[in-house]
Amino acid sequence: MFDSGLGGLSIWQAVTRALPDWPVTYLADQAYCPYGPRSQVEIAARTLAICRYLADQGASLIVIACNTATSAGVDHVRAALSIPVVGVEPAIKPAAAASRSGRISVLATEAMLKSRRFESLVRRHAGDVDVLPRPGVGWVEKVEAGDLTSPDTRRLISEVVTPLLSENVDHIVLGCTHYPFLAPLIREMAGDGIVLDDPAEAIARRVVTLINGKTPSATAGAPYRFLTTSGDPHPMAAVLPALIGHRYAVESRPLP
């Protein structure tokens, strides 16, 4: 699995719960994080390089646990690799189908909201539901730092969520895998009348379907490994307990 950073751990949690016997290597591309402000071309190239690396390491399936990387790069990765590749996309289809007010908001990175894939998702799945796209400015950095509750984090979330309260939206789609870690604060500010749509469980079901009852090979190794492309593995190791409630060793894998 990989993400630009630690957000994909929201998907990791759902996948490892659904498949507790499967070894999972999680790679955080922290040397390039955040992807949000980067160009589609750069994100696509990076996504392909990382997926090639994971395939060379013996991955039998790759989850691109990042909406931004999926939108820019999943087609290239699928064309280049012969193993199954699961991507993640904002849950616009189920949110629009369930909306009663006819207005939903999608929170995602700038790159995701500017991508052709986003435009196509809205065109294909929103129907006559209004979609209000909003970037979570500064949110990714807060999750990377494990800062999920400070006054500054509250301020950044409030700047996006509070104005939505007067927009009559009844669904907020969490279209960046970092954002579920901020869901408790988003929920507190949005109140109970707004549904937060998080794709993690749907991705886990998709992975279970593709694994289709197979068992891991005997040589697969340690159950969970964590890699970062940053030269220093300590910051990621320090933040893991705040995000997934457990300490793990982190290995440094600077990828060119």
Each residue 32-61 as x (binds ligand DGL by CB under 6 A) or -, in order, gives -xxxx-------------------------
Q: Determine if 113 is a binding residue for ligand DGL (CB under 6 A).
A: no
- Tokens 């290239």 sit at which residue? 76
User: Which member of 91, 113, 176, 236 binds ligand DGL (CB under 6 A)?
Assistant: 176
Rounded Cα distance between 233 and 241, Å, is 14
Whole-angstrom CA distances from 115 to 54, 62, 67, 134, 175 are 25, 22, 11, 14, 13
The torsion region of residue 227 among left (phi > 0), alpha (psi -120 to 50) and beta comes to beta
Least Cβ distance, residue 111 to ligand DGL (angstroms) = 7
Q: Take residue 119 and report the two structure tokens written for it.
A: 């435009």
If the CB atoms of residues 67 and 230 are measured against ligand DGL, the closer one turns out to be 67
Catalytic residue among 1, 15, 44, 66: 66
Burial class from Cβ neighbours inside 10 Å (0-12, 13-18, 19+) for residue 17 reads: exposed
Annotation says 51 is catalytic:
no
Q: Which of residues 116-175 bind ligand DGL (CB under 6 A)?
A: 140
Stretch that binds ligand DGL, among 3-11, 151-159, 211-219, 246-254 (CB under 6 A): 3-11
Binding stretches for ligand DGL (CB under 6 A): 3-5, 7, 33-36, 66-68, 109, 112, 140, 176-178
